[in-house]
Structure 1
């Protein structure tokens, strides 16, 4: 019988999922994983000492695992996800688990590396694992046979684009205009035609439909990024979003999953322009707005912001008011309250924690400012939000 480490290595190499084996005292026996994507927290599994049934387990961080018990060993394969985790979903999970601000970047990077399995892939992968582990490992001695080549293989014909290609380019042009203006209503009109493009392009590489669709998604990611930049989004925000989707595309293993990613990309890039466009602002105010968004949860003053921008507080305040029609304090407070509303509606995070997460020094000040703007306390807004 082959050692446990050999079996674990075989599973990891084949499925590209991390593999652990625990004994019946829940002590780790072997682990084969990618150290570059190690979870930033310690997984909390059910009691492995009493586990008797094959289980698909999803923890509070929305990470899924296959748990497969044997007489002396419990195999744990994962983590993976079953949906593309958008930035809003990631923020919701991190907030719900009260992750500290300093940990959030590390968590977000980790989520962006996770493989995404469709429901069908979950079923087939689980079935494969159970049957593989039910029998002793047998590695055959392979022989190699090569078919004699009597004549040179004919050169592959270049891909011939159908006559609808021009129509596809027109869709892309209109799509970029929609992202560029941050039109979150109109962008939904492009979900169907953009996902249909994957069907159109999947035969571009012979016998490699998934790779063809991944290439198409990478192109779409670039197009969406360019449109959002033209719409006035700071490059720093675009870098993280573009990198996230590039990683998700490469780790996706089904065309259905890629179609979900296309929709997520369109939604997030357009929403980013809608929320964070600085088009029309001077370079100074664009930098000021970007700094505020990037450090919204931190405690900072106008004087420190002006010093970082190498200008005087009075000049910065005057220019900011002229260009945005808001004072710096009004703008910062509005952004913090908008972020707080997201937490209140999408998480169960305590209100005192939300106050600190969005940059208020104490919950009392947060509640007072929130009620001044919404005419509701945070608790009332969470129960019955007004538009």
Structure 2
């Protein structure tokens, strides 16, 4: 999630210029940008991406470490942490010393599964890592050098803003009629119709009816007037419609008792894609993709039919399906005796706790087989099986195909 911060109750003219220049640098590089004073306090922080809490550089610790290591002014410093996150830093002096740092970025596409093995990440951490790494820019050496040069010329950005001379066309066009094309009652009817369509769209997603949801979304788009608010800005209008759709789909998933962690992951993925997509065609494609994703997660993870106790167990299993089940821990979590919990879970879901976990593992394995070019042994390990031969036997029993056959067929 993007964060923006400017610290300081009072700010002199020089410092204001530094912050303005930092904003320019952020817009030019599209990288997290930080400005620290000589005491190591942030006076400016603009983050496009936030490091997950399980990584060592979280809470700006990488930034603070680089700040402490910079000993000379007007010299570019490059820092690569143990996860291969790359930063650039520069200290300079006006009347006081300041440090500006940009990053993180990547020099090569990371191997998520190698990181998973190396740091023994849990399932929920793997998903958060995937989202985080997908948000980072992968920069060529030439582009890194360009950004380093830009950083080295930071003081040029401190110069006064240029004055613009406006040139008007020779022939003035007739002023557009700015009157509202609707009268008040017509506007009220449109608003009521829009909310009614939105309610139907939410209901369609709750029922898993993708076709109906997409039809309703097209109808709803026609009733929005973002084009009036953003004339000559079609990209902004389409992005706003995508944001509205994401909000509606979150509501549908929440109403269907989808686990909050799954809603959060899908929502964050699309928030980022909407904000940083610059092509209309891709945004239009996102509409259908979002409806598909939310409808699928509603159908596969809706918990409203289960008791609160069973919902808690399912949410736990979704987060930790790749780990050994500790039934004592589950009983403590739900304030229920282990035997009673097992009976209740089987009664409501038709599966044992172990059987439900196995279903989650196999579903994730099927997804990885379809979408990732990984060895079978790697996939077995990622979904929680240390023995790939045992994984193959379980997979064939559940699906009728071996993992290799399934991959070839899909």
Q: Matched residue of 2:384: which SS?
A: coil
Is the contact between residue 104 and residue 136 of structure 2 (CA under 8 Å) also seen in structure 1?
no
Alignment of 1:231-270 (within 5 A): 231-270=256-295
Q: What corresponds to 1:120 in structure 2?
A: none
Shift of 1:271: 1.1
Structure 2 gaps of 5+ residues are 1-20, 33-44, 57-102, 138-142, 151-155, 168-177
Contact 2:26 / 2:46 at 8 angstroms: preserved in 1?
no
Deviation at residue 314 of structure 1 after TM alignment: 0.6
Distance 1:192 1:141, change over 3 A: closer
Q: 1:370 to 1:144 in 2, by over 3 A?
A: closer
Stretches of structure 1 lacking an aligned partner (at least 5 in a row): 1-7, 20-32, 42-76, 81-89, 116-125, 148-155
Q: Which moved more, 1:208-217 or 1:96-105?
A: 96-105
Match of 2:358 in 1: 333
- Counterpart of 1:142 in structure 2 is 162
Distance 1:266 1:355, change over 3 A: same
Contact 1:183 1:274 in 2 (8 A): no
RMSD: 4.6
Structure 1 residue 177 displacement after superposition: 0.6
1:37 alignment partner in structure 2: 49
- Using a 3 Å threshold, how does the CA distance of structure 1 residues 178 and 329 change in structure 2: closer, same or farther? same
Shift of 1:318: 0.5
Equivalent residue in structure 1 for 2:376, among 335, 340, 351: 351
Which residue of the partner structure matches residue 369 of structure 1?
394
**CA deviations over 1:47-71 (Å, ceiling 9, x no partner):** xxxxxxxxxxxxxxxxxxxxxxxxx
Higher relative contact order (CA 8 A, sep 6+): 1
Alpha-carbon distance in structure 2 between the residues aligned to 1:175 and 1:35: 34
Residues 285-294 or 247-256, more deviating: 247-256
Structure 1 pair 159/18, CA: closer, same or farther in 2 (3 Å)? Answer: farther
Post-superposition CA distance 1:248-288 (Å, at most 9, x none): 33334454443333323222111110111112100000111
**Does structure 1 conserve the Cα–Cα contact (< 8 Å) formed by 2:190 and 2:223?**
no
Partner of 1:226: 251
Q: Secondary structure at the match of 1:348?
A: coil
Change (3 A) 1:111 1:203: farther
| 1:44-193 equivalent positions in 2, closer than 5 A | 94=112, 101-102=121-122, 104-111=126-133, 113=135, 142-143=162-163, 160=182, 165-184=191-210, 186-190=212-216, 192-193=218-219
Instruction: Please state whether the residue corresponding to 1:298 is helix, strand or coil.
Output: coil
Please report the TM-score for the alignment, with normalisation by the length of structure 2.
0.59
Change (3 A) 1:354 1:113: closer
Deviation, structure 1 residue 381: 1.9
Query: Residues 287 and 144 (structure 1 numbering): CA distance in 2 closer, same or farther, change over 3 Å?
Result: same
Separation in 1 of the partners of 2:23 and 2:327? Answer: 57
Query: Contact 2:246/2:290 (CA < 8 Å) preserved in 1?
Result: yes
Q: Measure the CA separation in 1 of the matches of 2:313 and 2:364.
A: 18
Q: Return closer, same or farther for 1:328/1:159 CA change in 2, 3 Å cut-off.
A: farther
Aligned partners of 2:181 and 2:238: how far apart in 1? 15
Distance 1:264 1:194 in 2: 17
Residue 82 of structure 2 corresponds to none
Contact in 2 for aligned 1:217/1:262 (Cα 8 Å)? yes
Aligned position for 1:29: none
Instruction: Look up the SS of the partner of 2:228 in the other structure.
Output: coil
Residues 116, 126 of structure 2: 8 Å contact kept: no
How far apart are the structure 2 equivalents of 1:325 and 1:106?
Answer: 31
Q: 1:355 to 1:288 in 2, by over 3 A?
A: same
Q: 1:12 to 1:145 in 2, by over 3 A?
A: closer
Q: Is the 8 A contact 1:114 1:248 kept in 2?
A: no
Distance change in 2, residues 1:322/1:221 (3 Å): same
How far did residue 194 of structure 1 move?
Answer: 5.5
Q: Distance in 2 between matches of 1:380 and 1:96?
A: 25
